[in-house]
Amino acid sequence: MDQTPIFEKKNVIVTGGAGFLGSHVCERLLRDAKVICIDDLSNSNIANIEHLLQFPDFEFIKFDVNQPIDLDRFEELDKFKVRFQGIQEIYHLACPTSPKNFEQLKLHSLWANSNGMVATLDLAVKYHAKYVFASSSVVYGEPASARYVFKETDEGMVNHLSPRACYDEGKRFAETCVETYRQVHGIDGKMVRIFTTYGPRMKLRDGLLIPDFIINALEGKDLVIYGDETLSQSLCYVTDVVDGLVRAMETGTDLSVVNLGSEEMVRMVDVAEQIIQLTHSTSKIVFEKPLIFLTKKGVPDLQRAKDEMGWIPLVRLQDGLKKTIDYTLANKEAMGLQM
């Protein structure tokens, strides 16, 4: 067992910490940890973590984690005594996900799922740190039926030469990296397969359905569904997913792979109608051809999450949508919305 002394609080790294999910993880961890947020801002926004910069236990480092990471070179980390205490936990979330700009981010996705894995896993080995990787439900491939349920033991079918392969097959290879480091170096590494997540701070006008629905509803514009009336997916509110990630980190070494998401499949047309009602909008729903990054998805089997981590999603869809709408309204000026 590692005998590195811990001064007051553990040191935790969150890569991609200025992104949608990463910023919420940083926020949650600040309750009882010193948080080092690493992000190159290539597909995220400093505004997501501006409210955290005031805290002495939070430090933002602009850096590309696809490069080898040498924490000793960052003088701003001296206050965390990294040279003496090291790093106790690493959450690796850095990976671009952009439906509309996916073509322009292919190499970034490829690097994040390869170079970024090696760089962060090497860091986990160096500091004997626990490691959680934000994987994705895409490793399962597309469902065979409308309500297909994926278990962690299922082997997915992914086209490794498709236009999406840098992300889909990339996530599979990334998991192979984690498992290989578990086998060779004995690290405590977890692979968390995250199903569709929504909430405040999602990128706007990026082809992500929930924030785009809300913006268009508030502006009285058409709500665009990239597909037809049958397009369905599970939707899990961001705080539930963050709670699952933290619980995964705290769980013993026997747990290596776990699903996080909602077991309920919902039609996106029904979600759009809910948002129109909640915003009292006069918007209409229209349908357009699917985007490359938007594919059919199943729902997670959550038995392992329930049994091993005591985790279930708690936020109801209607409540989560209302929270997201309230956030958008409160930040409409910063978002540049025309109200």
pLDDT along the chain (339 residues), means of 10: 67 97 98 96 92 97 95 95 95 83 82 96 98 96 79 90 90 97 98 96 76 92 89 94 98 96 94 96 91 75 98 97 92 61
The one catalytic residue in 91, 127, 131, 167 is 167
* Side-chain-facing half-sphere of 121: CA atoms under 13 Å: 26
Strand partners, 311: none
Structural tokens at position 9: 């609080």
Pair type for strands 265-267 and 232-234? antiparallel
* Environment class of 215 (CB within 10 Å of its CB; exposed 0-12, middle 13-18, buried 19+): buried
DSSP assignments along 89-134, one per residue: EEEE------TTTGGGGHHHHHHHTTHHHHHHHHHHHHHT-EEEEE
State the Cα–Cα distance between residues 54 and 155, nearest whole angstrom.
45
Q: Which residues contact 247 (CB under 8 A, 6 or more apart)?
A: 309, 310, 311
Give the model's pLDDT for residue 1. Answer: 44
CA distances from 146 to 124, 143, 297, 303, 322 (A): 39, 7, 8, 20, 27
Q: How far is CA 33 from CA 7, 63, 160, 235, in A?
A: 11, 21, 39, 29
- Residue 163 is predicted with a pLDDT of 85
Q: What is the largest CA-CA distance in the chain?
A: 62
Please, which residues bridge with residue 303 across strands?
A: none
Whether 131 sits among the annotated catalytic residues: the reply is: no
Rounded Cα gap, residues 218 and 235, in angstroms: 21
- According to CATH, the topology of domain 10-195+238-261+297-314 is Rossmann fold (3.40.50)
- Which residues does 177 contact at the CB level (< 8 Å), separation at least 6? 114, 117, 118, 121
Query: How does DSSP classify residue 139?
Result: G
Classify residue 222 by its DSSP letter.
P
Element (H, E) at 194: strand 189-194
Q: Are 320 and 271 in contact (CB under 8 A)?
A: no
In order of 9, 83, 131, the CA distances from 5 in angstroms are 10, 11, 19
**Residue 9 contacts residue 33 (beta carbons within 8 Å):** yes
Q: CA-CA distance, 27 to 63, in Å (whole number)?
A: 20
Q: What is the pLDDT of residue 206?
A: 64
